[in-house]
Amino acid sequence: MGLVNQVHPQESFLEGVHKYVADLASSVSPRSLRVIKRQVYDAMFQTLAESFESSEQEMLASLQSEDFREGVAHFIEKRAPVFTGR
């Protein structure tokens, strides 16, 4: 189900968290992270149908974003992404 992607012993837990966060910050669109955080929060107050409708709207908006185009370009060009958050 993808609920757990990593497990770390207590001694190296914070180091693992810092590595994961650094990877997110350098390789994921800030726009995408912003949308995901808002959707997780909003879902607590929505029905499943409302949450689904919201996610469809966000997906359509994401496909039109600068960061989507940059995500495709960086993948095709085999280079690091340069996201703008737009």
**Does residue 24 fall inside a structural domain?**
yes
Give residue 2's pLDDT. Answer: 74
Angle at 81 between CA 1 and CA 51, to 5 degrees: 40
**Does residue 69 fall inside a structural domain?**
yes
Q: Which residue, among 21, 15, 14, 27, has the nearest Cα to 75 in the 3D structure?
A: 27
Domain count, the chain: 1
**Class of residue 28 by CB neighbours under 10 A (exposed 0-12, middle 13-18, buried 19+):** middle
Q: How confident is the model at residue 1 (pLDDT cuts 50, 70, 90)?
A: low
Question: Does pTM top 0.75 for this prediction?
Answer: no
Range of the domain at 25: 16-77
Give residue 3's pLDDT. Answer: 77
pLDDT in tens, 38-82: 999 999 999 999 999 999 999 999 999 999 999 999 999 999 999
**Does residue 63 fall inside a structural domain?**
yes
